Structure 1
Amino acid sequence: MIKLRSKRFCRSSSKLSGGSGNGNKIKGGEKGCCGGISEIKWELRPGGMLVQKRDTGESVGEGTITVRVSSTVSKWHDISIEATSTFGELKMILSLVTGLEPGEQRLLFKGKEREDGEYLHMVGVRDKDKVLLLEDPATKERKLYGLAGDQPIGAPLHTISV
């Protein structure tokens, strides 16, 4: 963090007194304004941009957030994860909870499928946001064919001999 000092400059907010016409000026808003020195805190963003640091609690992208992951209509998981994590890391955690391998998972946030390398905070995931978990249809299909064994696609799974 870089600390720079800046001097605040302000205009005097002079107004003519309302309706008197005698030219007396009422000065307001100057108390503590001109000549005061305030301290501005700066931060260096990952892209190399120097910006004024936000004073509102935690900065965006810092700390642990809770993400609600919905896998079906009635089933959901609350996952605590760092805001600077990737969707790939979230998939790794979900694989422990759901039993689906990370390659079998598809994560949707704000209606779009997210790639493994995308960062949660860069996409806009905040505390208590919802993410939808879907099983990859190709994987689901492979599992179904794996259960069917050697039978052709059009053949029934079980044959009854008379």
Structure 2
Amino acid sequence: MIKFRSKRFSRNNSKSGGGGGDGSNGVGGEIKWELRPGGMLVQKRENEESVGEGMITVRVSTVSQWHDITIGATSTFGELKMILSLETSLDKKEQRLLFKGKEREDCECLHMVGVRDKDKVLLMEDPAIKERKLLGLPPCRTISV
């Protein structure tokens, strides 16, 4: 059986009332804010090991080999592709990165989709580009308007 407790949230304008709307965080200090990469404004954490900060090591696996890449936790999959293009011979446009069974877009942040230290990411070559290479065809060119 699960018990739920309800809390009453109300604005208390008295100065002696604990936790009112006076802007304090209960310690008597000022609230510090930070802007996350997703655009959300949140209260800054006090501990030094907060989620989404620092460097993480991601194991990128291909069919025949793997690479341990150290990258910032708030980096994007596009930045990871740029590092992988230096490690492998695949261009950024030829790479497909999969995490938790889904292909990830270049603009998605690693920490926003749940990539943590020592997680695995699968690197696959784009099948259409691979087929064009095998047939000896020149790469297709896109016309921008």
TM-score, normalised to structure 1's length?
0.61
Q: Which amino acid aligns with 2:65?
A: K
Bigger Cα Rg: 1
Aligned partner of residue 115 in structure 2, secondary structure: coil
Distance 1:145 1:121 in 2: 39
CA RMSD of aligned residues (A): 2.6
Aligned residues: 115
Stretch of structure 1 that moved more, 101-110 or 42-51: 42-51
Of 54, 58, 73, 1:67 maps to 58
Specify every segment of 5 or more residues in structure 1 that has no aligned partner in the other structure, as ranges.
1-6, 10-35, 148-162
Q: Which residue of 1 aligns with 2:22?
A: none
Q: Distance in 1 between matches of 2:120 and 2:66?
A: 9
Offset of residue 83 of structure 1: 1.1
Large movers: runs of 4+ above 6 Å: none
TM-superposition CA deviations, 1:83-117 (whole Å, max 9, x none): 11111111111111111111110000111100111
- Would the aligned equivalents of 1:107 and 1:133 in 2 still touch at CA under 8 Å? yes
Counterpart residue identity of residue 65, structure 1: I
Within 5 A, what are the aligned runs for 1:38-77? 39=29, 42-46=32-36, 47-51=39-43, 53-72=44-63, 74-77=64-67
Does the 8 Å contact 1:105/1:133 carry over to 2? yes
1:68/1:128 contact within 8 Å kept: yes
Pairs within 5 Å for 1:3-14: 9=18
Q: Is the 8 A contact 1:8 1:37 kept in 2?
A: no
Q: Percent identity?
A: 68
Instruction: Quote how far apart the aligned CAs of 1:38 are.
Output: 5.3
More strand by share: 1
Mind listing any 5+ residue stretches in structure 2 that lack a counterpart?
1-15, 19-25, 138-145
Matched position secondary structure for 1:89: helix
- Distance change >3 Å, CA 8–CA 81, structure 1 → 2: farther
CA distance in 2, matches of 1:95, 1:68: 15
| TM-score, with length taken from structure 2 | 0.68
**1-structure distance, mates of 2:81, 2:136:** 24
Q: Summarize the Cα distance change of 1:57–1:50 in structure 2 as closer, same or farther, 3 Å threshold.
A: closer
